[in-house]
Amino acid sequence: MASTVLRNCSKVLKINVGQFTILPHVSTGVRHKTTIQYATRPDLPKLAYRKMKGKSPGVVFLPGFASHMGGQKAEALEEFCKSLGHSYLRFDYSGCGSSEGEMGNYNIGAWKKDVLYVLDELVEGPQILVGSSMGGWLMLLAALARPEKTAALVGISTAADHFVTAFHALPIETKKEIEEQGFWKFPTKHNEEGFYTLSLDFLKEAENHCILHSPMPVSCPVRLIHGLKDSDVPWHVSMQVAERVLSNDVDVIFRKLGLHRMSEKDDIKLIVYTIDDLIDKLTTLG
């Protein structure tokens, strides 16, 4: 059983973060961003990414579903890593953002391959993986597949197994309708349409990657940050993850007023402080 520390973070933790300061411009992006590069892969779409060289351990940011590497958290982390001199990489999944392809043609398995490609080909040495929402699910899948490349995990509103869990929670009649139609209009507050269209094939494929039903042999430090006001992914999912991972170094951090995206100024401060604390821990151990 993982040793879980619960913290009510309605007030921001005071941790030394070097010269980094959350500035007003963070909400609109950093002033000196890295340039977009494209990784060419045989028989796979080109992956768009931004990379900053620096010290180890590096940090890799994994966006959420239908999101991209230009979000507030992703850009704030680049500024933070730059201030510490640590390497940092953020990227877009196949079919998302600036990467090639149409999003509807890809699934959890394809995006897992994207993450593994990044770890295998685009970064050097063990990384701190920071996964937001669905990115938290992919972060865990990557840690299971590449333990030697995973220094630590930071999950933000981790959505492990989320689409599958939500589908199975629907009334039988609704599930039958979806199976007959071949797609599900998955409700969301994060686009103009008010839903994401998920194919039945997408949902069935996602079942192959569910991880909450058995212990996860993840031994690195794990930090799970979740807002108690998250109306998209229940906070208890992070508790389930904490219980399933075998690592004894697991903290679950709740923000009393935190929402799903965790993009408020104090949310980002907490994420930055958490990563800084891990870097300090890993550097000391190293």
Are the C-beta atoms of 224 and 157 separated by less than 8 Å? no
Closest CA to 198 of 181, 174, 176: 181
Are the C-beta atoms of 267 and 258 separated by less than 8 Å? yes
* Residue 72 parent element (H or E): helix 72-84
Annotated catalytic residue, options 99, 133, 157, 263: 133
Q: What is the Cα–Cα distance from 282 to 274, expressed in whole angstroms? A: 12
DSSP class per residue in 228-242: TT-SSS-THHHHHHH
Annotated catalytic residue, options 86, 162, 209, 260: 260
Are the C-beta atoms of 104 and 128 separated by less than 8 Å? no
Annotated catalytic residue, options 92, 161, 230, 251: 230
Residue 133 a catalytic site member: yes
Q: What is the Cα–Cα distance from 271 to 154, expressed in whole angstroms? A: 8
Q: What is the Cα–Cα distance from 250 to 219, expressed in whole angstroms? A: 10
Active-site residues, by number, are 133, 230, 260
